[in-house]
Amino acid sequence: MSKTTKTIYLILFIVFCVIVIQILVADKHRAVLVVKEIEEDGEKRIGVNPTTDRLDFGDLPRDTGATRYISINNRGNYKIYIMVWKFGAISELIKLSRNNFTLGPGEKERLALELYLPVSANKQRYAGWVWVFKLPRW
């Protein structure tokens, strides 16, 4: 193997390692929603989960919405780039208040995740993930 080929392999290996480390250290939040039919009296009733360990939007009837929040803190002495990815069936229903932005040292951000369940929703349960990547900026 030539020196150039070895250098290319080394660079690719380093990039691969950085990507794997970022995936491992990303904040991963489980997001769930249960579609609830309207009660017999015709009123829309919402069931809210009191736990805060995941993005549980609770039980919602169609044509309603809910908002959940994720707090992001930069406790380091350097800027960080925030990137949010959504996965799963619920990802199409979630709108982020902000994505792809930079936080300076000591700054905080309260990221709103707004969910609207359309009238056409037909599944009984939606689930997925929200991953928050914090990439250092030099």
- Condensed to tens digits (0 to 9), the pLDDT of residues 66-121 reads 899 999 999 989 999 999 999 999 999 999 999 999 999 999 999 999 999 888 88
E-strand ranges in the chain read 27-35, 55-60, 64-73, 79-88, 94-96, 101-103, 108-117, 125-137
Decide the pairing of beta strands 55-60 and 27-35: parallel
pTM of this structure? 0.79
Q: Is residue 6 part of a domain?
A: no
Query: What confidence tier does 129 reach under pLDDT thresholds 50, 70, 90?
Result: very high
| 54, part of any domain | yes
Structural domains counted in the chain: 1
Domain hosting residue 94, numbered range:
27-137
Q: State the CATH number of the domain containing residue 52.
A: 2.60.40
Mean model confidence pLDDT for the chain: 86
Higher pLDDT, 118 or 37: 118
Residue 76 has a pLDDT of: 86
Give domain status of residue 16, yes or no.
Answer: no
Q: Is residue 7 part of a domain?
A: no
DSSP 106-138: T-EEEEEEEEEE-TT---SEEEEEEEEEEEEE-
Tell whether 2 is covered by a domain: no
- In a domain, residue 51? The reply is yes
Residue 5 lies in a domain: no
Residue 38 has pLDDT above 80, yes or no: no
Q: Are the C-beta atoms of 33 and 123 separated by less than 8 Å?
A: no
Whether 18 is in a domain gets the answer: no
